[in-house]
Amino acid sequence: MSYAVLKFIHVSCVILSYALFTVRGVWMMRGSGALQRRWVKILPHVIDTVLLGSAIALAVMIQQDPLNDAWLRAKVAGLLIYIGLGTVALKRGKTRKVRVAAWLAAQIVFGYIVLVALSKNPALLYYANP
């Protein structure tokens, strides 16, 4: 599979995963029964599995290693935090207030992950060459 196709799959899964997380968060805040639909419980896992597989394949293809590349290590750390916050937001939060706070924090962490991916800089600082 070519790099371009793999990257398209990865970015498409990022968009789908985030969109579905956002919608599920809105449903959570509204107390919607839509969260109990079978497809809502299954589809995120399918998308996230393809997303993870494409991420690993891309890292191998471009010879990036989270142990040696700080930007990739920051993305992985951000992803773990995002997943943790997402589970609190959609499943484990004891109160609506806690779930909403976790959902909002997850939005911020997602933004960080995307910015690190685009800049390849975990500190998100731009250093211009003189």
Q: Is the pLDDT of residue 126 over 90?
A: no
Same-domain pairing of 73 and 54: no
Q: Is the pLDDT of residue 106 over 80?
A: yes
Same-domain pairing of 8 and 47: yes
pLDDT tens digits, 45-84: 999 999 999 999 999 999 988 888 889 999 999 999 999 9
Say if residue 64 is exposed, middle or buried (CB neighbours under 10 Å; 0-12, 13-18, 19+): middle
Residues 25-30, mean pLDDT to the nearest whole number: 96
Domain span holding position 52: 1-63
Say what percent of the chain tops pLDDT 70. 95
Same-domain pairing of 72 and 41: no
Cα distances from 38 to residues 29, 54, 124, in angstroms, run: 19, 25, 39
- pTM of this prediction exceeds 0.75: yes
6, 73 Cβ separation under 8 angstroms: no
54, 10 Cβ separation under 8 angstroms: yes
Calculate the average pLDDT of the chain. 92
What span, in angstroms and rounded, lies between the C-alpha atoms of 103 and 44?
Answer: 16
Of 17, 37, 63, the last residue of a domain is: 63
Of 63, 89, 106, the last residue of a domain is: 63
Same-domain pairing of 7 and 54: yes
Residue 125: per-residue pLDDT? 61
